[in-house]
Amino acid sequence: MSLTESRSNHKWSEPAQLLEKAQQVISLSDSTPHAVDDLPSNGSFKVGVDLGTAYTVMVVLNEKGEPIVGEYQFTQIVRDGLVVDFIGAVDLLRAMKQRLQAKLGRTLSHAASGYPPGVPQAERAATAHVIEAAGMACQGLIDEPTAANNVLRIQDGVIVDIGGGTTGIAIFENGEVVYTADEATGGTHLSLVIAGANDISFEEAEALKKDPAEQSRLFPIVRLVMEKMGTIVEKHIRGSGARSIILVGGTPLFPGISEVISEITSLPTRVPSNPLFITPLGIAMHDWMN
Ligand code: ATP
C-alpha cells in the first residue's frame, strides 16, 4: 500500500483494500480493459459517475460495495463544477456506459453523481440531466466531500480535494461536513507552470507532470503552486480546531505535496493510496440499489 505521510507520529487508518481493488478494476478508457473477475450473474449494482474538470470517472460496485469495473477518461466537459459541454458529456458517458455494460453483460440503468459544495441547485440538476440523457436514472446526488467521506469515514478533520481546476476544502466534525470552500487553484495550474518553465504545450506539460521519472526534477518548479494551495487551505481552516488533513483527487498523486501542505498548515497531512478514485467510489456508494 502506498501511503505518503507527514508528521509520522500521527496514527491513520484507511480503507486500503477498497482503494486497491479500485486501482485494479478501474482502467483508462482507451487502455486494454482489465478482466472482470467474480462477475455477478444477478444481484444489484451501485453506479457512480464523477464528472470532473480533468477526468470523468464511472465506477460500478457489487452488492457488497466492492468495485468490480470502471473507467476514467481525460475530458473537458466541466469547469469549476459546472457542466459546460452538455452534448459532449452525454456522448462520453453513453460510450463509457456501453463499454462497461459490454464487460459486465448487464444493463446499467441508474447512477449517482456528485457536485462540488456550493454549486447552485440548477447546476446540480444539470449534472443529473447528463446522467439521464446518457440513459440512466439519477436518483442520488451527493456533495463531493461527503462522498469522499463515505470511503474515508473520518469523524473530525479536513478533506482537501485537489482536482484539475480547484482546491476544495471540507471540515468535518462528528462525521458531518460543517464548512466547505472551493478555490480556483488545481492541477491545471501545476501544468501551466511546467509548460511555461519548459516552453512546451499544456498537453505536453500534463504528460510530463504525470511521469514518475520527471516528478522529482519538476518539484521545485511546482512547489510554489503547492504552497499557494497550502495557503488556501490554511486560510479556510484557521481557528477551526481541525487537527489533521487528508488530500484526495488527482493532484495529490504528485509526490511531495502532502509535505508542502503540512509545512504551511502545521497539521499532519496524508495522501491515501489511489486518491483519484476516492470521490467516485463514495458517489457510487450513494447510488440506490435497483
Ligand atoms: P475538479 O475536481 O477540479 O473538477 P477533476 O475532478 O477532474 O477536477 P481529478 O480527477 O481529481 O480532478 O484530478 C485531475 C488532476 O489530477 C489533473 O490536473 C491531472 O493532471 C492531475 N493528475 C492526475 N494524475 C496525476 C499524477 N500521477 N501526478 C500528478 N497529477 C496528476
CATH number of the CATH domain containing 53: 3.30.420.40
CA distance 163 to 185: 9
pLDDT at residue 1, rounded to an integer:
35
Contact 195, 188 (CB under 8 A): no
**Ligand 1 close to Cβ of residue 188 (< 6 A):** yes
- pTM reported for the whole predicted model: 0.90
Phi, psi of 110 (to 5 degrees): -155, 155
**Ligand 1 close to Cβ of residue 158 (< 6 A):** no
Based on the fold, state whether residues 117 and 168 are members of the same structural domain: no
Ligand 1 centroid vs 54 CA: distance in angstroms? Answer: 6
Based on the fold, state whether residues 133 and 54 are members of the same structural domain: yes
Q: Which atom of ligand 1 is nearest to the CA of 276?
A: 11
CA distance 256 to 219: 8
Ligand 1 centroid vs 17 CA: distance in angstroms? Answer: 22
pLDDT at residue 180, rounded to an integer:
93
pLDDT at residue 288, rounded to an integer:
74
- Which residue carries 486500503 as its cell? 16
- The 3-state secondary structure of 124-144, one letter per residue: HHHHHHHHHHCCCECCCEEEH
Q: Which atom of ligand 1 is nearest to the CA of 80?
A: 4
CA angle 134, 137, 143 (to 5 degrees): 95
pLDDT at residue 214, rounded to an integer:
98
**Ligand 1 close to Cβ of residue 206 (< 6 A):** yes
**Ligand 1 close to Cβ of residue 250 (< 6 A):** yes
Based on the fold, state whether residues 159 and 222 are members of the same structural domain: yes
Based on the fold, state whether residues 161 and 94 are members of the same structural domain: no
Task: Give me 186's grid cell.
Answer: 488545481
Based on the fold, state whether residues 166 and 231 are members of the same structural domain: yes
Per-residue CA distances from 269 to 12, 130, 240 (Å): 10, 35, 16
**Ligand 1 close to Cβ of residue 279 (< 6 A):** no
**Ligand 1 close to Cβ of residue 254 (< 6 A):** yes
Ligand 1 centroid vs 81 CA: distance in angstroms? Answer: 14
pLDDT at residue 9, rounded to an integer:
42
**Ligand 1 close to Cβ of residue 145 (< 6 A):** no
Q: Which atom of ligand 1 is nearest to the CA of 163?
A: 12
Q: Sign (positive/negative) of CA torsion 17, 19, 20, 24?
A: positive
pLDDT at residue 48, rounded to an integer:
97
Contact 173, 188 (CB under 8 A): no
Based on the fold, state whether residues 50 and 120 are members of the same structural domain: yes
Task: Give me 150's grid cell.
Answer: 463515505
**Ligand 1 close to Cβ of residue 249 (< 6 A):** yes
**Ligand 1 close to Cβ of residue 78 (< 6 A):** yes
Per-residue CA distances from 166 to 50, 80, 160, 185, 231 (Å): 15, 7, 10, 5, 14
Angle, helices 86-104/121-133, rounded to nearest 10 degrees: 50
Based on the fold, state whether residues 244 and 158 are members of the same structural domain: yes
Ligand 1 centroid vs 290 CA: distance in angstroms? Answer: 31
Based on the fold, state whether residues 234 and 182 are members of the same structural domain: yes
Task: Give me 203's grid cell.
Answer: 498537453
**Ligand 1 close to Cβ of residue 205 (< 6 A):** no
Based on the fold, state whether residues 132 and 11 are members of the same structural domain: yes
Beta sheet of 26-28, edge-to-edge order: 26-28, 67-74, 55-61, 46-51, 112-115, 141-143
Ligand 1 centroid vs 181 CA: distance in angstroms? Answer: 18
CA angle 263, 145, 209 (to 5 degrees): 55
Based on the fold, state whether residues 25 and 77 are members of the same structural domain: yes
| pLDDT 10s digits, 238-276 | 999 999 999 999 999 999 999 999 999 999 999 999 999
Based on the fold, state whether residues 176 and 200 are members of the same structural domain: yes
Based on the fold, state whether residues 251 and 137 are members of the same structural domain: no
Ligand 1 centroid vs 129 CA: distance in angstroms? Answer: 24
Parts of the chain with a pLDDT under 70 = 1-14, 30-42, 289-290
User: Which residues span the domain enclosing 264?
Assistant: 154-272
Provide the domain count of the chain: 2
